[in-house]
Amino acid sequence: METTTPKATTVVVINPSQILAGDAQSVTADLSKFDVAKQQADLVKIELDKYQLITTEEIATKAIETASMANKVVKAIEEKRKLIVTPWNDEVKKINSYAKGLMEPIEKAVNAVKKSVIVFQEQQERIRIQQLLQVRGTILTGLGFKLHTNGNYYVCKEIDAIMSKSEMTTLNDAQFNQAVAGYEASLKAYDEEQQRKAALAAQEAAERNEINNAFSNTPAPEPVVTAVTPTKVPTRTVTASIATTTISSSFKAKGTTVRWVFQVENINEVPREYMMVDEAKIRKAVQDGVRSIPGVRIYEDKSITLR
């Protein structure tokens, strides 16, 4: 009975360094194809050097003729260059196109993964901020603060203090706890002041009662004293670990960077130092006949066109 040996399975793992293995394609330029071009270039350069100083119209005419011929030599060399490099460029285009076809699907997939991670990070950040607002809101409420009807900030009228939700999320633990400590001190002082006022009012009422009793045979009625209810300041020890022990830090993927970017919303409000002159538009205007533009000097510039 014939036995069949199972075929070995080739396992391919992701290893970018393997792509760089092997030699690059060898390419050698044959510059001898430019030998005739070099001879012509040397000759025309010698002729051009004769006309660096123009003294007569005849010399000027010959200079223009020589320069025109030299210009044709330059164009011929350029055409020769194109003939030689065109096959190479065609092969380069093939290589670039093939490599691009390999890279594009990967790059699209990578960008999709990046977007997914960013969406997840933003979700986690929103959760973190919500939890932070809840914890710090509880602390402020315990001090006597109330959430304003618009829901954007906490206010304590007794000490004329306000903390917006924006502050609650941007202050670090030390800064927030320092603010809370200041609120506690202010509330304590407010409470003591209210108690002092209540005691003073009671004392004044008692003194008036004594005076009335001294000059009247009829006992004076008991004075009605409206006691001022002092603000009760809870005893609380706020430490810098409150937020960090309660709120888990938001997820941050390896390689994640945060940078400031911009988007122009109203170009009319952008300061001049951030503007750029549109030289192409000015050039076209001058070519179309415009001769006066504020802040721009328009003048004639002579040149010689060789044919």
Closest of 286, 303, 160 to residue 231, by C-alpha: 160
Antiparallel, parallel or unpaired: β 146-147 and 161-164: unpaired
Q: Specify the pLDDT at position 257.
A: 80
Tokens coding 306: 């060789």
pLDDT at residue 179 is higher than 80 = yes
pLDDT at residue 283 is higher than 80 = yes
pLDDT at residue 217 is higher than 80 = no
* Ramachandran angles phi, psi of 136, nearest 5°: -70, -30
Higher confidence at residue 250 or residue 283?
Answer: 283
Mean local confidence (pLDDT), 8-13: 70
* pLDDT category of residue 67 using cuts at 50, 70 and 90: very high
Higher confidence at residue 183 or residue 230?
Answer: 183
> pLDDT tens digits, residue range 81-96?
999 999 999 999 999 9
Query: What is the CB-side half-sphere exposure of residue 169 using CA atoms within 13 A?
Result: 14
Q: Specify the pLDDT at position 100.
A: 96
Q: Specify the pLDDT at position 26.
A: 81
pLDDT at residue 176 is higher than 80 = yes
* Helical segments of the chain, H only: 35-49, 57-143, 165-170, 173-214, 242-246, 279-287
Q: Specify the pLDDT at position 3.
A: 60
How many residues in total does the chain contain?
Answer: 307
Domain boundaries, the chain: 115-212
Closest of 231, 251, 230, 213 to residue 121, by C-alpha: 251
The helix-helix angle for 35-49 and 57-143 (nearest 10°) equals 110
Determine whether 166 is exposed, middle or buried from the number of CB atoms within 10 Å of its CB (0-12, 13-18, 19+): exposed
Q: Specify the pLDDT at position 249.
A: 58
Return the DSSP state at 270: S
pLDDT at residue 298 is higher than 70 = yes
pLDDT at residue 299 is higher than 90 = yes
Q: Specify the pLDDT at position 238.
A: 44
* pLDDT category of residue 54 using cuts at 50, 70 and 90: very high
Mean local confidence (pLDDT), 40-69: 93
Higher confidence at residue 2 or residue 177?
Answer: 177
pLDDT at residue 80 is higher than 90 = yes
**For the chain, what is the radius of gyration of the CA atoms?**
44
Mean local confidence (pLDDT), 261-280: 92
* Ramachandran angles phi, psi of 156, nearest 5°: -125, 105
DSSP secondary structure, 48-94, as one string = HHTTSS--SHHHHHHHHHHHHHHHHHHHHHHHHHHHHHHHHHHHHHH
Closest of 167, 161, 157 to residue 136, by C-alpha: 167
The percent of residues in the chain predicted with pLDDT above 70, rounded, is 84
* pTM, rounded to two decimals: 0.59
Coil vs helix vs strand at 303: coil
pLDDT at residue 239 is higher than 50 = no
Mean local confidence (pLDDT), 48-68: 93
Q: How far apart are CA 9 and CA 65, in angstroms?
A: 75
Strand order in the sheet with 153-156: 146-147, 153-156, 161-164
